[in-house]
Structure 1
Amino acid sequence: MKSLHSGRRIAALAGGTAALAMVLFTASCSTEEQAPEETTTTTTTTTTTSAAVEPTDKAPRINPNDPNPFSPTVIAPPAPTAVPGDN
């Protein structure tokens, strides 16, 4: 009986030590330093060309007057009904 209690105490002590070690390791690796703030200015120029520009996304365009292209095409059959009193 004593060996059972001492085994639990050793396991609890080992678990507590491991948890404390993880907390201390995490605290020692973290830093409170913030990166220096840098301000950058970007300038963009546009040129016109005769080539048509197409969107790069593959999703279909949603038109409010058209049906929703994301709606399912298969409709599931209704659930079967059971005879009253039969579970």
Structure 2
Amino acid sequence: MRSHRLTRRVAAYAGGAAIVAMVGLTAACGGSSEKAPETSTTTTTAPSSSSSAPSVTPTEKSINPTGGNLFTPPVKAPPAPTAIPGDN
């Protein structure tokens, strides 16, 4: 009887110590840290022979608020099979 109480008490202390250790590690590792310096990259392009931008052609499908969803294909499913009445 005494060994069961001692085992439970040791387990409770070990669990409590584990919780305190996890909270301590979380607080220690989750502290404020300095923000990494931001680096900026610059890109250079070679001058092109034409100064105008290439023309953009519209796509076939566009989003129209009243036109429905034009991006989905039409459904072409076979009809449901029918059974003879009374036959399950």
- TM-score if structure 2 supplies the norm length? 0.46
Task: Compute the TM-score of the two structures, normalised by the length of structure 1.
Answer: 0.46
